[in-house]
Amino acid sequence: MNFIRNILNSRSQQEDGNFFLELKEILGFKPKTKSLYITAFTHRSMNIKDDKGDAINYERLEFVGDAILGSVIAAYLFETVPHGDEGYLTKMRSKVVSREHLNKLGEELRLIDFVETRIPKSNFGNNIHGNLFEALVGAIYLDKGYGFCKKFIYKRVINPHVDIESLEGKVISYKSLLIEWCQKEKNTFNYEVYDDTGKDELKHFSVKLSINDKVISKARATSKKKAEEKASKRAFFALQKQITKSQ
């Protein structure tokens, strides 16, 4: 396809170095099907389509990468923690592939430096890092197969970052934890979210978290989800003794 050939040429002539040489340093092997990796770093804002009119960007590879990551981590946990039941293994896998963790992995590898986009990179949120990491995993799987992909995940995710004891104590969602505790203790809870009237450049949301009709915490953030999680974290530490005692 002409657009792939054009991007291949531009990639090889980048001022900041050869795209595929830099990528090889991250992967530990030479890419075979180069078009997959180009797609893995093409943002939808480029508005590129193939000969059939289908969009070319990293989102489909992100879907594949998410599934492969989950399967490799699941198999690792199954073999490493023989005493863990289904619920335990599911929670542990969620902690390894949490959005926060994947964002850190993508940021650590500086994957955003490779992105082709028409949007200023400074405008992207943190999730771009994790999205690119998943897309890269998807590209590796389709290019080199499951074995190569597994080795990459062990090298970049499991060996340096997965510690069972640390993961057991890691909270990935304070909101989920708090709701679970409230339901167990038959406490009523309410998240009251409203638009923030502050003068910030970016729109903010504020939230009040009440438990048994008493306001426990307040928070504000750039999204409702973030504001609720922030308020939940504050409430957790305010009620930590009670929550820990009931566990």
Calpha distance 226→100 (Å, rounded): 12
Q: Please say if the pLDDT value at position 95 is more than 60.
A: yes
- Please compute the mean of the pLDDT values over residues 195-202 and round it to a whole number: 68
DSSP, res 49: B
Cα within 13 Å of Cα(184), Cβ side: 12
pLDDT tens figures, 16-70: 448 888 899 999 998 999 999 999 999 999 999 888 899 999 999 999 999 999 9
State yes or no: is 66 an active-site residue. yes
Catalytic residue among 66, 116, 228, 229: 66
Structural domains of the chain, with CATH: 2-167 (1.10.1520.10), 174-246 (3.30.160.20)
CA-to-CA separations, 225 to 74, 97, 193, 222, 238, in angstroms, rounded: 27, 19, 10, 9, 20
Which of helix, strand or coil describes residue 182?
helix
- According to the model, what pLDDT value does residue 247 have? 62
Is residue 63 within 8 Å of residue 128, measured between CB atoms?
Answer: no
Element (H, E) at 30: none
Name which residue leads in pLDDT, 142 or 222: 142
pLDDT at 226: 87
Identify whether 134 is a catalytic site residue: yes
Q: How confident is the model at residue 91 (pLDDT cuts 50, 70, 90)?
A: confident
Average pLDDT over residues 98-108: 92
HSE value, Cβ hemisphere, 13 Å, CA-based, for 207: 26
Looking at per-residue confidence, does 202 or 189 come out higher? 189
Which of the four pLDDT bands, split at 50, 70 and 90, describes residue 10?
low
Enter the pTM of the model: 0.71
The size of the chain, in residues, is 247
Mean pLDDT of 126-145: 96
pLDDT at residue 234 in the model:
93
**Average pLDDT of the segment spanning 200-210:** 83
**Per-residue pLDDT band at 180 (split at 50, 70, 90):** confident
First-to-last alpha carbon distance for the chain, in angstroms, is: 58
Measure the CA–CA gap between 188 and 233, rounded to whole angstroms.
17
Check if the beta carbon of residue 204 is closer than 8 Å to that of residue 189.
Answer: no
Instruction: From the candidates 116, 134, 143, 228, give the one annotated as an active-site residue.
Output: 134
- If 0-12 CB within 10 Å is exposed, 13-18 middle and 19+ buried, where does residue 89 land? middle
Confidence label for 2 from pLDDT (cuts 50, 70 and 90): low
Residue 12 and residue 70: Cα distance in Å, rounded? 33
Which residues have CB under 8 Å from 116's CB, separation 6+?
Answer: 7, 38, 41, 42, 43, 46
Confidence of residue 163 (pLDDT cuts 50, 70, 90): confident
Residue 244 has pLDDT above 50, yes or no: yes
